[in-house]
Every structure is written in structure tokens, then in C-alpha cells.
Structure 1
Amino acid sequence: MADSYREGSLSLRGAVAMGTGVMVGAGIFALTGQVAALAGPLFPLAFLTAAGVAGLGAYTYVKMTRANPSSGGVAMILTQAYGRTAVAAGSAMLMALSMVLNQALVARTFGTYLTVPFGDAAGWIVPVLAVAVIAGAVAINLARNEAIGWMQTVGAVVKIGGIGLLAIAALAASGWSYEAGSEGLTAGTSVAGFIAATGLGVLAYKGFTTITNSGGELENPSRNVGRAIVISLVLCAVVYVIVAIGAGSSLSVDEIVEAQDYSLAEAARPALGQWGMWATVVVAVVACVTGLISSMFAVSRMLTMVTDMRMIPHRHFGMPGDVRHHMLVYLGVVAAVLAVALDMGQIAAVGIIFYLVMDMVIHWGVLRRLRHDVEAKAWVLVSALIADAVVLTAFAVVRGQEAPWVIEGAFAGVGLVYALEAWYLRTHPEQDDEQDHETSSSDESGRS
């Protein structure tokens, strides 16, 4: 089994591959249809605008991680800003839950694309395939970090190169036209819908936080964390826009929305024929598998750090291994349950609300308490806060008109997370936790 932490075990190349692995897996394959439903023909521009919102947010993470690189980056930032409080612990859990929701989204995307070539497959096959790929990702994460890094590099080349070539080929086959805009670029698009689409599109870029969460394991982190995040965001923004335009060159907005969960495979069919559809499926499968591996790699380490800080409870239930291995099992179980219980639209909606709330808490904490220590510019932090608030509000309003119970449930979930963390920290003061931790360590040493 892998060591919990291995300083310098991730190269810049591996970190970029990890970031793009999560982003491409959760982004363009899973969200194209949903973003198009909100933004209409302007959905490629919504992906580009979302990159700007994510880039503003990334500034805070880069500044903090350069100053204090760790293998639980987001949790460490929150603790430095708020201390051992319900705000820090609850926000860390929102980050973890948003990543678990992302894993469920990617797993369902894997199952959906894998069944596309076989037409109308039985509805139960997609969740079964989703559970299977989650189990596989948990198992692979027990490998050494270097092995995961090389796997991500190969996957990144296949995803970025393959999907880019397919999109360009689709554009060329369509005569460089844009079918989605045939009735006008603003047909059926509202300002609120576009902003809501931008908010949802941020979910396609939040994978950069996997780099932050692995900062302590990155070579020369003070230099490479920022470089890896910027490179990943730029690469994914270029790929998303090209692929979105490629999809729009083959299908109308209505057709993209109708084929929502597998829109890229459907877009390849008229432009490139059956082989194009099969090639898209292969790239999607690679993207989803490597994305899952990257996400679990990062979130398991973050939750391990939060557990070590005694900010969340932990029980091993007789399982062998250390805390990180237990976390991988718990993550796999929760992601599998979500993948079976919710559809892709519901998963994405809850995931982006959890993430944006957590993101705003981080920006506010750094702005109020840490910006002078890390030499962060106040206007950038304020801009990131405003951007998050605007897109979150627009998404909640627009999506709430279609599925109010999903939005209400997501915000209720946010409140519940903070309430449970407040109760846990109140009933487990830090001194008691340290004593319990020492007792637990002694018991485990005795068993071994």
C-alpha cells in the first residue's frame, strides 16, 4: 500500500495531468448538455467565462499554497484563516463533499458513454458501471504516487489530444459552420441563464483544487503549484471552447440538450460517422477513469489532514491500513451511493452549490485575516468573492425554477454540515481530542 505522504513524489507534469484529469472528466463530457440548456447557442462562451471565474478564485489558493504548501491544501487554508472552528471544519467538509459529488458525476458519465454504442441499454446498467469504476479507482489509489502520476500523464495526452482532434475534425466536416447558432447566437438565451450557465461551468474547472490538495507532495511546491494550476486552467479552457464549438457545429442546441448526458458522442455521429462516435466514447472512458483516480487521490489526503486535526470523527471499523486508506473506502461508498441515487443534473447542481459556498468562505477568510501574510491583493480577492456570489445566485434562481427541491436540498445540506460540525467540535474540545488520539494510537500500536 502507498505511503500516506511522499514529499516531492509528484512532478509538475504529474500535477498538471492530475488537474486536467479531474477537470476534463467532470467538465466537457458531463456538463456540455447542461450548460447548453442554460446558455443556449452561447454555451461555448459560458465555458470561457467560467474559466475566468475559476481563475479569479485560483489566485487565493495559489497565494496560500505558495506560502504554506501541504497535502491537505484546502483544509490547511481554512484552518489558518479560521482556526479549529465549525466554519473551517464545515467548509472543509463541503469541499470534500463537492469532490465526492464530482466523483459520482464522473462515474455516471463513464457508465453513460460506455452504453451509448449499444443504443437504449437497460437503465440499471449505468449505475452498475458507475459503482464498478468507483471501486476500481479506489483500488488504483493504493498504488504509489509516482505510478498515479504517470497514469495521469498518459491519460491527459489521450484526453487533451484526442478530444481536441475530434472537435477540429467535426468542425472541418461541417464546413466550419455553427449549427447551434443557425437561428441567432442569442436565440433562447437570457442574461440570467447565461450567468447561471457560467456558474455551472465553474464545476468543470474546480479540479485545480486537486493540485492545491497535493501541494505537499509536489516537487518545489512554492514555484510549481501556481504553474500547474495556471497551465491546467488554460489547457482546459482551450479544449472546452474548441469542443463546445465542435459540438455546436454538428447539432442544434435542442439536439445537444436532448442528448444531454452523452451530447459529445451524439455530436460526433453526424460529422464523423460511427468511427467518430466510438473514438469519442474511448476518450470519454479514459477521461472519466483518470479523473476519478485524481479526485480520490486529492480528497483522501485532505480528509486525512482534517482527521489528524481532530476536526471530524474517524472510526476504522476493524479495517487494516492507515487513515487515508479508510478514507478511500468511505469516499468510494458515498460516491457509489450518490451515483446510484441521483441523476447527473441533480449531482451537478448540489456539487456546484457546495463548492461555491466553500470557495466564498475561503476568499473571505484570506481577505480578512491572511492577505498581508501572503501578499495577496485585496481587489482580486473581492473580485473573486463577487464573481462567486453572482454566479451562485443566478444558478440558484434559474435552476430553482425547474427543480426547487434540488436547490433547497443543497442549501439545507450546507446548513446541516455546519450544524453537525459545530456540534462535534463543541462536544469534542481540542484537549479531549488529543487525549483520545493518543489513546487510539496506543491501542493501534498494541494491536500491531
Structure 2
Amino acid sequence: MGGSGKEKKAFGLWSAIFIGIGSMVGAGIFIVIGEAGAIAGNIVWLSFIFGGIAALLSGYSLAKLALRYPSRGGIVEYLVQGYGEGVFSGSASVLFYFAGLVAIAAVAKSFGTYAATFLHAQNTPSIVNAFALGIVGFFLLINLIGATFVAKSENLLVIIKVTILTVFAVAAAWHIDPALLSAKKMPPIMNMLYAIGLTFFAYQGFSVITNTVEDMENPARNMMRAMIGAILIVMALYVLTAVAVLGNLPLPEVIKAKDYTLAEAAKPVFGVLGFKVMAATALLSTASAINASLYATAEISYTMAKEGNLPKVYSYNVFQSNEGLIISSLLIVPMILFFDLSEVTTVAALSVLIVQGLTHIGHLMRLKETGANGVLVFLAAAAMFTITALTLHYTRLHDPAIGYYLLGAFVLCFLVEVSLRIFTKRIVTRQVVDLFNFKRWEDEKKI
């Protein structure tokens, strides 16, 4: 009774699904399709299916955690709830912050590649880096000034890029050369498994749905439905796109144009105009992803890592400090300058896999509180670490430096965490503190 005076929540079922799709169908598919296709060849669509299954398992675990620990701190909150307020959870939260920065660097590098290709500039590292640094600097200024108009355009950008991808995939399906997808051209099945780490990266963004829990209508009913619905829709789009690309481009051409494969794959179907439209769509997608990440992930994660908590004044599109934006942007610069696109993407994918795997292991210790299915949570953790192991094995054979970068990231995050505790006395704390407030929140959401 008493619910008439309650303010309407921002997210219903479909708006939550929509924000999940928008977050996933960002830069990931434009970066990953060529990189993964170069490894898995004409069965890369299977890699996208397995990547999607891993995302579903991970999404299930995160959705259950979000319902039990409703906080905009997201994964950082779940880590602290699982492991306590110690150095381990603090280091993991710092790693999560750095993983977000690496992901932004990967997207910026992709923007630079597509920009150089679209503008017919020389596709040299210096030109790509110049475009990448330029777009990060541009959105840093936009966010410092006030990004209201950019934020309002995000939904329109989502509609545009999803529509163009869907039209491309359906149209390209009619022009597929069956010989390119034949079993004779299949690479070893292990290659398909090695590519799952990259295809999982293309689904990154589904965890954003958990951050809407405090603003969601009837989260007990809508959270899991939104998570599963968004991932299944994106999986269908990715599989169709992968089949369309590898069915229209011979593998040598995929490998040659792996940094802008989607644009190249549009040529046989739509000609030069298709190439330009897809390249422009990639530019829009990568730009919007950079804006969203700088505007939210960098600032929130920075504050959680530095201060140990998320002030109550934080809410979507309302931030009180520019420090996180500036520091985060400066840290992204060396990542852009000294990593190549494939290395940046792989390090970002591995970092996210490890952080999510740790989150699910922590969840196993809180099953009584979340009421989650232990088998599914265990499978989520197993999927994250299995994909990590496969990816590390592949990179050990083809790019051994990746393992050293990852190890360096772990050591750096540990040192940062210890230094912050010693010099600032800060501790990453729980945002959902006591059972009384949780039960009160549960009662409110049932009204």
C-alpha cells in the first residue's frame, strides 16, 4: 500500500536490457572480430558462442551478487564482500581499475586504426597513436566541461550501431561463399578455444546491468531477465556477424585487415560505400565507448581504489571530482604509446577474466547469503580461469610478452594497494554494511 508516493525507477526490464546491449555492442566487436578471426579462422563463430556461454554464467553470478549487495561499486563491492576488507580485495579493486584503463586504451587504439583507415591516412603506429591520444584528450575535455549532450546522445548511438551491424550481417549472409566456411578450411579446433578469451572481451559491458540495481523497477524479477536477455541478443548478433565476415572474406584477407575487418568485410556486399559506413560506425562506437568509460568507470573505480569507498553523492552522470578523470587519462597515455592493439586487447581481456574469476570464487563463500546455485557459480569461476589459461598458453607461444605485462600488472596493483594503506591509511570498505539495511531494501523493492 503506500507505494503511490514512490518515485518511478529509471530502469524497467527493457531499458536495463537496452543499456546492457549498448554497453556490449560497443567497440568490442570492431576490435575483436578481426583479432579472433585471425586465430580461429572460419569457426570463430563457435568462439563467440562459447564466449557468450561464459558471459551468461558470469552474468548469472554477478546478478545474484547485485541483488544481495546492491551498490554502484559493482564488482569492487562484490570482491570486498567475498574476501573482506584486506590487502587481497584492495589489490583486486586496483587491478579492476587498471583493467578498465587498459580497456579504454584498447578502444582508443581501435579508434585510431579506423580513423586512419577511414581518412585514408598512412596506417603507421605514429598516426594511429595520434588519433588515439586525440580522442582520449577530446573526451577528457568534454567531461571536464560537462558531457550532458554527449550522454544524451548515447541511446541514439546504440540504435545506430546495432541497426547497421544487423543490416550488414543479414545482407552479408546472402552473399556468403560456402567454400570459405567449409570444413576443409577449418583450423585446428584448439585455435577456436584459444580465441574464446578475445570473444569474451566482446561481451564485456554486461556487468553494467548490475550497477543499475538501485535504480531498477522490481530488481528481484527484472535483474536476471535483463542480464540473460541482453547477453542472448548480443550473442545472436555476434555469431551472425562472425559468419558473415568469414563467409565473405578469405582468411588471409581477415589477417591482413584484422584491425578493421568489419569495414573490409562490408566491401564485397556494399562496395566502397559499405566500407566507409562500417568504418564510420566503428568510429562512433569506439568514441561513445571511450566517453562512457572515462565518464563512469575511470572516475568511480579511481575513487573506490583511492578512497576505499563510494561517496553518497555518486550517481549516474553526477560526479563531484575531476581528479579521477585527469589521473586516469594520463595513465592511459603510456598504454597507447607502448602497447600494440593486439597486446592491449589481450591484456585487457585477461585482466577482466581474472577479476571476474576472483569475484565468482568469493561468491562461492557467500552462497547462503545470495541464494545462488552453487554449481552455476562454480562453472562461472571455472569458465573464467579456463579461458585465462587457454589464452595465456596461446600468448606464450605467439607473444610471450603478454604474460610479463600481466604479471607486472599484478605486482604493480599489490604495491599500489600496500602504499595506499601505509601512506593514506585508506581501506576499501563494504558499501552494503548490515543485514538490517539489506532487508529494508528488499522490503522496499517488493512494494
TM-score by length of 1: 0.84
**What's the CA shift for 1:303?**
2.9
Q: 1:295 to 1:211 in 2, by over 3 A?
A: farther
5+ residue gaps, structure 2: 1-7, 311-317, 430-447
What aligned pairs does 1:29-108 form with structure 2 within 5 A after superposition?
29-108=30-109
**What's the CA shift for 1:169?**
1.6
Matches of 1:322 and 1:258, distance apart in 2: 43
Check if 1:386 corresponds to 2:386: no
Q: 1:391 to 1:322 in 2, by over 3 A?
A: closer
The code of the aligned residue for 2:102 comes to: L
Matches of 2:380 and 2:419, distance apart in 1: 31
**What's the CA shift for 1:213?**
4.0
**What's the CA shift for 1:349?**
1.5
Task: Assess if the C-alpha contact under 8 Å between 2:249 and 2:265 holds in 1.
Answer: yes
For 1:393-416, what per-residue CA distance to the aligned partner results, in whole angstroms no more than 9, with x for missing partners? 111011111111222221232233
Task: Assess if the C-alpha contact under 8 Å between 2:117 and 2:123 holds in 1.
Answer: no
Task: Assess if the C-alpha contact under 8 Å between 1:81 and 1:365 holds in 2.
Answer: yes
Partner of 1:288: 286
Check if 1:395 corresponds to 2:394: no
Partner of 1:248: 246
Check if 1:337 corresponds to 2:334: yes
2:26 counterpart SS class: helix
Task: Assess if the C-alpha contact under 8 Å between 1:199 and 1:392 holds in 2.
Answer: yes
The code of the aligned residue for 1:302 comes to: S
The code of the aligned residue for 1:355 comes to: V
Partner of 2:261: 263
**What's the CA shift for 1:64?**
1.1
The code of the aligned residue for 1:203 comes to: F
Matches of 1:36 and 1:231, distance apart in 2: 26
Matches of 2:210 and 2:144, distance apart in 1: 20
**What's the CA shift for 1:424?**
3.4
Q: 1:286 to 1:122 in 2, by over 3 A?
A: closer
For 1:226-254, what per-residue CA distance to the aligned partner results, in whole angstroms no more than 9, with x for missing partners? 44433332232122111111111210122
Q: 1:327 to 1:179 in 2, by over 3 A?
A: farther
Matches of 1:55 and 1:148, distance apart in 2: 30
Task: Assess if the C-alpha contact under 8 Å between 2:47 and 2:199 holds in 1.
Answer: yes
Q: 1:81 to 1:295 in 2, by over 3 A?
A: same
Partner of 2:163: 161
Matches of 1:81 and 1:339, distance apart in 2: 33
**Candidates 349, 352, 355, aligned match of 1:355:** 352
For 1:358-415, what per-residue CA distance to the aligned partner results, in whole angstroms no more than 9, with x for missing partners? 11111111102x1111101110111111111211111101111111122222123223
1:333 counterpart SS class: helix
**What's the CA shift for 1:271?**
2.3
Q: 1:333 to 1:153 in 2, by over 3 A?
A: same
Taking only aligned residues, the RMSD between alpha carbons, in angstroms, comes to: 2.8
Identity percentage of aligned residues: 24
5+ residue gaps, structure 1: 1-6, 312-320, 434-448
1:70 counterpart SS class: coil
Matches of 2:289 and 2:230, distance apart in 1: 13
**What's the CA shift for 1:145?**
8.8
What aligned pairs does 1:216-227 form with structure 2 within 5 A after superposition?
216=214, 221=219, 223-227=221-225
